[in-house]
């Protein structure tokens, strides 16, 4: 029989133990070892049984045990100390507060930042994530908390989270969606002063209303607001809007993204009203799913009397858009008519015409589909600042979105990059921290992990080889034990009896070189590249003196049968009795599994199709634990591989890249790269791991581990990442937003409208240079004189530049440098203006230059912002494409 209603009966804690409740409801426990150890000591057996979840622990620990703890003076002292420590953490000044006092008008730092993401990986006990995007968002909030950055997180509360994974007998992925009870999670319902739940309403077509409550999770100092549509006032269909992460059809996804963006802004306003929290000056959109937040903020300003154009400028100034996808297929796109229906009629947002909404997401560039609404395009049009998540991904993004800035080379597209980082206190094994703290001191070690300010973790060089090797062996043994437990559980779910599973106790070996591979399973990540030559892989696994073992995990999207087939192929190989003690697939990859995998592996494998890995942070987490990376030069590894912190898998340069895994090009590429992978493992990785000196230690291997910790450790930190966001993006966005307060937004909107209207008349009429151009000596100078027509514009509205650099056989410029020319005198009789400047020839070889005219205003974040440029006729004529 099934229960018709479900609820949670909570334990009433003795008064002396009330601080336990406060500690459990602040998710800082998930990265604070001392607090986790306190909860473990409450009842070790129950702690393990509830998956190390403090809220569930307090709900299930026997009353007599609580009574004993209430009388245990030693336990109460520890509890009091940790309660005081949390209070100090929440209220004391941290990096942000000591950098410059924010929000008083004299500091460039924003008073608050709203951070929107469709998923968050904070802890396994709050399963609101599917993969890297959510883990990155969780690490962003944790690092912001450690640094004291006043962020408000915004997301959706998924009643079923993401799916739990198991395998059928034949290795096919099975999904199940357990119902999450908020009463069993570290969340609380946001309530009005009269204790009624806060409610957010969105108007929908047909007179319907989508309502949502707001759950708040406290992530250290950072509040995380999660909107939940599963409330009684909604229809059955609307209650399911937030049923699961990345589920449902197109309209379901659109409603999720409207609730996240529009409802999320309203949730932030509600939270600030109730708590007195400073209103955000900057809104950060983590990928395009939350893009409608900009539309809602335009509606807010329209309600204050601002027209659409100035409201758009005000919103853009304080908005940052982060893109995470390197392929157009990864972007959410909706039927234009579907979007139109949800922003018109009785569903319209007052002051925001539907045609303006549609223009924000329109694919207006060459090759775009006019029938589709593109969420990334809207995100970029609504944000004055944008970034990719690694240096290479920034470059890829500039090329991918080049169509939004017609007339500009991809290198000039205004998308910068901030390379992702990972939250070290979450991902470093406590044993690694203890080893580092023995040399650095605990306070210095903790500070280094959180702030990411050091360029090197100086001091770790002193750790003896024997200590490092002993630690690595202990972590490997810990992983072996966990893998055996999970493998046994998996086989029981697949239908095996206990009598069939005796072999599991000898799976993996704590003294064998261990390679880890765990991530989502789309085709471009190439889970099965290691299976290209199965005979060769077997020989590596079973080598008599240099064996390897591989631990694999990952989930395919429930609708991705191709990904499921890849998992099935890997599982079929791993099920072979000849090799199953050397390679395992562990189902249900999540944060809890990851925290064993990263420390326990010697090598972290990543072999995506370059350059389709935007960043790929799993290898960062492994590196923090002394694991070496073996990866294609993609994402973060492309910029930080130095030849001593791991190995680079060669890519098949010259072979045409394709996403079709069954094409001849893909087959040839994968054959070449898998052969390179096998060679690296056999002749370099395994050879170095098993190269032992007379003392039994692999000194060259240990040197690479030490080098990784000392030099790579500080780079991969989320603290470094969040500081970069604050200094390079949040602070400039806050300053721009303040400058547009009052009438500034209207003045900027009027200027842009005037420039766009006048631009067709802007022309480069004549360019001349002193001296012969056939050949010039290094160090010589060309004097340039340029004549331009500006139509109705003034010289103060534009900048005239000479752009110079190397040229190829087609006269295309590369490594280009722009130099502003100076106006000399007023307009001539034909209304043309003259500009002059000197061009120094500072490089040898083929060289060229061109001249262009760009709009110029001190409130533009980039000269390419309007997408307007005028070029000489001989350079391809004038391009007057417009970017709003």
Model confidence at 346: pLDDT above 80: yes
Which helix (H) or strand (E) segment is 629 a member of? strand 628-632
Which helix (H) or strand (E) segment is 114 a member of? strand 113-116
- How far CA 672 is from CA of 301, 444, 527, in Å, comes to 57, 46, 16
505-550 pLDDT, tens digit per residue, is 999 999 999 999 999 898 889 999 999 999 999 999 999 999 999 9
586-636 pLDDT, tens digit per residue, is 999 999 999 999 999 999 999 999 999 999 999 999 999 999 999 999 999
Neighbours of 692 (CB within 10 A): 11
What pLDDT was estimated at residue 825?
79
259-317 pLDDT, tens digit per residue, is 999 999 999 999 999 999 999 999 999 999 999 999 999 999 999 999 999 999 999 99
Tallying the residues shown for the chain, one arrives at 884
- How far CA 67 is from CA of 21, 48, 62, 466, 703, in Å, comes to 15, 21, 9, 46, 52
Model confidence at 101: pLDDT above 80: no
Angle at 282 between CA 280 and CA 284, to 5 degrees: 115
Rounded to an integer, what distance in angstroms lies between the CA atom of residue 729 and that of residue 427? 26
Name the pLDDT band for 396 (thresholds 50, 70, 90): very high
Can you tell me which residue has the tokens 């009684």?
232
Nearest to 394, CA basis, from 365, 422, 419: 419
Angle at 386 between CA 382 and CA 390, to 5 degrees: 155
What pLDDT was estimated at residue 8?
63
Residue 843: which region, alpha, beta or left (left: phi > 0; alpha: psi -120 to 50)?
beta
What pLDDT was estimated at residue 879?
36
* Residue 196 DSSP one-character state: P
What pLDDT was estimated at residue 878?
36
Neighbours of 823 (CB within 10 A): 16
Can you tell me which residue has the tokens 């605990």?
442
Model confidence at 90: pLDDT above 50: yes
What pLDDT was estimated at residue 659?
53
Rounded to an integer, what distance in angstroms lies between the CA atom of residue 808 and that of residue 800? 24
Q: Find out whether 604 and 593 touch, Cβ atoms under 8 Å.
A: no
Structure tokens at 702: 């240990």
Model confidence at 139: pLDDT above 90: yes
Nearest to 37, CA basis, from 91, 94, 85, 88: 85
Name the pLDDT band for 663 (thresholds 50, 70, 90): confident
Nearest to 214, CA basis, from 275, 283, 164: 275
What pLDDT was estimated at residue 847?
80
Across the chain, what does the average pLDDT equal? 92
Structure tokens at 371: 């029938």
Q: Parallel, antiparallel, or unpaired for β 209-219 and 319-322? A: unpaired
What pLDDT was estimated at residue 655?
56
What pLDDT was estimated at residue 34?
96
Give CA torsion, residues 188, 194, 198, 199, to 10 deg: 150
């Amino acid at each position: 029989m099934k229960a018709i209603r479900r609820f949670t009966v909570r334990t009433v804690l003795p008064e002396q133990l009330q601080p336990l409740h406060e500690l459990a409801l602040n998710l800082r426990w998930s990265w604070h070892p001392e607090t986790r150890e306190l909860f473990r000591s409450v009842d070790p057996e129950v702690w393990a049984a509830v998956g190390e979840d403090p809220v569930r622990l307090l709900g299930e620990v026997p009353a007599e045990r609580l009574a004993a703890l209430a009388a245990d003076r030693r336990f109460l002292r520890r509890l009091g100390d940790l309660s005081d420590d949390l209070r100090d953490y929440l209220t004391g000044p941290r990096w942000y507060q000591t950098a410059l006092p924010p929000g008083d008008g004299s500091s460039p730092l924003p008073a608050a930042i709203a951070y929107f993401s469709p998923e968050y990986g904070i802890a396994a006990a709050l399963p609101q994530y599917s993969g890297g995007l959510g883990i990155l968002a969780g690490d962003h909030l944790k690092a912001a908390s450690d640094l004291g950055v006043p962020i408000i997180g915004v997301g959706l509360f998924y009643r079923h989270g993401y799916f739990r994974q198991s395998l059928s007998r034949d290795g096919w992925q099975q999904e199940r969606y357990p119902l999450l009870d908020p009463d069993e999670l570290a969340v609380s319902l946001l309530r009005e002063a009269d204790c009624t739940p806060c409610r957010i309403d969105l108007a929908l077509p047909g007179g319907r209303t989508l309502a949502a409550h707001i759950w708040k999770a406290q992530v250290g100092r950072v509040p995380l607001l999660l909107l939940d549509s599963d409330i009684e006032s909604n229809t059955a269909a609307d209650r399911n809007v937030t049923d699961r992460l990345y589920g449902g059809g197109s309209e379901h996804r659109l409603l999720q993204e409207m609730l996240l963006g529009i409802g999320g802004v309203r949730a932030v306003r509600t939270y600030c009203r109730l708590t007195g929290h400073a209103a955000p000056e900057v809104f950060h959109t983590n990928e395009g799913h939350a893009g409608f937040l900009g539309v809602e903020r335009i509606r807010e300003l329209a309600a204050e009397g601002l027209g659409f154009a100035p409201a758009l400028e005000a919103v853009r100034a304080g908005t940052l858009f982060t893109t995470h996808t390197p392929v157009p297929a990864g972007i959410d796109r909706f039927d234009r008519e579907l979007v139109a229906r949800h922003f018109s009629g009785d569903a319209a947002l007052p002051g925001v015409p539907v045609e303006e909404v549609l223009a924000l997401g329109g694919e207006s560039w060459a090759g775009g589909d006019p029938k589709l609404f593109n969420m990334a395009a809207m995100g970029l049009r609504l944000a004055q600042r944008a970034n990719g998540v690694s240096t290479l991904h920034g470059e890829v993004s500039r090329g991918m979105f080049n169509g939004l800035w017609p007339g500009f080379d991809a290198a000039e597209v205004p998308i910068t990059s901030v390379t992702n980082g990972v939250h070290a206190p979450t991902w470093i094994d406590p044993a690694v921290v203890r080893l580092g703290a023995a040399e650095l001191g605990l306070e210095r070690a903790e500070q280094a992990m959180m702030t990411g300010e050091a360029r090197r973790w100086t001091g770790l060089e002193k750790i003896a080889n024997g200590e490092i090797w002993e630690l690595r062996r202990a972590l490997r043994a810990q992983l072996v034990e966990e893998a055996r437990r999970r493998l046994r559980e998996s086989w029981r779910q697949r239908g095996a009896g206990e009598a069939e599973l005796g072999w599991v106790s000898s799976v993996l070996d704590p003294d064998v070189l261990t390679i880890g591979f765990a991530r989502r399973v789309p085709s471009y990540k190439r889970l099965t590249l290691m299976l290209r030559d199965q005979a060769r892989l077997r020989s590596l696994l079973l080598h008599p003196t240099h064996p390897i073992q591989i631990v694999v995990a990952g989930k395919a999207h429930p609708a991705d049968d191709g990904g499921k087939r890849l998992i099935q192929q890997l599982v079929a190989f791993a099920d072979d009795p000849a090799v199953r003690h050397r390679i395992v697939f562990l189902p249900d990859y999540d944060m809890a599994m990851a925290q064993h995998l990263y420390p326990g592996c010697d090598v972290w494998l990543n072999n995506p199709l370059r350059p389709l890995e935007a960043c790929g942070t799993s290898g960062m987490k492994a590196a923090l634990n002394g694991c070496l990376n073996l990866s294609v030069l993609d994402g973060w590894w492309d910029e930080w591989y130095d030849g001593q912190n791991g190995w680079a898998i060669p890519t098949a340069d010259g072979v045409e890249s394709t996403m079709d895994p069954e094409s001849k090009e893909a087959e040839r590429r994968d054959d070449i790269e898998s052969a390179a992978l096998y060679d690296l493992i056999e002749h370099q990785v395994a050879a170095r791991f098993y190269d032992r000196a007379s003392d039994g230690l692999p000194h060259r291997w240990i040197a690479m581990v030490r080098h990784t910790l000392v030099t790579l450790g500080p780079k991969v930190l989320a603290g470094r990442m969040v500081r970069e966001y604050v200094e390079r993006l949040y602070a400039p966005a806050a300053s721009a937003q303040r400058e547009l307060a009052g009438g500034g937004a209207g003045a900027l909107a009027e200027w842009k409208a005037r420039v766009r209207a006048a631009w067709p008349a802007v022309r480069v009429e004549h360019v001349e240079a002193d001296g012969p151009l056939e050949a010039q000596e290094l160090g010589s100078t060309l004097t340039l004189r340029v004549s331009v027509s500006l139509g109705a514009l003034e010289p103060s509205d534009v900048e005239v530049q000479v752009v110079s650099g190397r040229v190829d056989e087609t006269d295309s410029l590369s490594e280009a440098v722009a130099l502003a020319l100076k106006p000399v005198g007023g307009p001539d009789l034909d209304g043309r203006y003259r500009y002059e400047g000197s061009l120094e020839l500072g490089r040898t070889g083929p060289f060229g230059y061109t001249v262009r005219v760009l709009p110029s205003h001190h409130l533009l974040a980039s000269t390419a912002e309007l997408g307007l440029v005028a070029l000489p006729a001989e350079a391809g004529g004038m391009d007057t494409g417009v970017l709003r």
